[in-house]
Amino acid sequence: MSAAADAPRLDRAEAYTETVHRIYGDRRATPPARELLLAVAYALFVAPGEPGRVLTTAARALGRSSATGRPRFDALVADDAPRYEPPRTAGDWGPGQAPGCEAPRLRPYVYRPRRAAATGEEEAVVPLRPLPEPVVHVGPDYIPPVDYRNEHGICGAAPHHKVLERDPRTGWVLAHWFCKRHVDHAERVTDQVREQNAAAPEPIPNRGGLLPVYFKAPWEEVYRRYAAPSWSPPPYGLSADGWPDPGNPPPARPRRLRAL
């Protein structure tokens, strides 16, 4: 084979090596996103097929899910759709799962044993069995940790009321939780953040957007096909490199490949 015929193959090998190196060095790439990016790079450089069939080749390389039997490519592309995902603390929690009430603690927490229920005469009340002496497995200099409710100066009781606060720079959500005894605090915080929430911008995406960073293609059409029906392109663009990052300089914009 002539050197002229080897030149395109060498160019593809160098481009593939450079792309793989960037993918592994990208801290934003979770293992599923990294697998998707590597599959597209493989289909583009290592196993080039018919023009316009790169994504099909990548989907074939990824195979099907052993659990659902569906192509893994579909779920990986849907997970890369640019979007904002609020923290778990801002979601709907079940009883006893949400963070503790963050209202200020008025008195330190002290353990008080439960009293026996009185149903009649005081003489008929059966006292609770006293707690056994604790078995200590630590040294004499050990100091037990302070209860977190006292340490942070918060109530810490089971929450019931949730107040969402939107960051005026990023639009990201911060949840505040309050128990039933601190409804007045929940109402006060709601009044404080109402104007700020109304003026907050659209939330900056914090998930996905890596395919447009490395490859050039009509990604909006691709995302609309695989993402959830409610998905819409964010106003900040599809590429994660173009999203604002408050407090940090804008990331470098490497060249995008034009083969898809």
Burial 92-102 (b: 16+ CB within 10 A, else e): eeeeeebbbbb
16-24 LR contacts (CB < 8 Å, sep 24+): 16/41, 16/42, 16/44, 16/45, 16/46, 19/45, 19/214, 19/257, 22/214, 22/254, 23/214
Q: At what angle do helices 31-41 and 72-79 cross, to 10 degrees?
A: 110
Residue 125: how many other CB atoms lie within 10 Å:
13
DSSP H or E stretch at residue 176: strand 173-178
- Rounded CA separation 217/203 (Å): 25
In angstroms, what CA-CA distances link 190 with 37, 90, 154, 164, 165? 43, 15, 18, 8, 8
- Sequence-ordered alpha helix ranges (H) in the chain: 3-25, 31-41, 54-62, 72-79, 148-152, 183-199, 211-214, 219-226
User: pLDDT tens per residue, the chain (260 residues)?
Assistant: 444 445 567 788 899 999 999 999 999 999 999 999 999 999 999 887 666 789 999 999 999 988 888 999 999 999 999 999 998 888 776 555 678 888 888 766 665 655 555 555 655 555 666 767 766 676 777 666 667 677 777 888 888 889 999 998 889 999 999 988 899 999 999 999 999 999 999 999 999 999 999 999 999 999 999 999 999 999 999 999 999 875 553 444 454 444 45
In Å, how far from its chain's centre is CA 237? 19
Residue closest to 104 by CA, chosen among 158, 180, 156, 163? 156
- Rounded CA separation 176/131 (Å): 37
pTM for the whole thing?
0.72
Q: Percent helix, strand and coil across the chain, each rounded to 5?
A: 40, 10, 55
- Rounded CA separation 202/199 (Å): 10
How high is the pLDDT of residue 106? 72
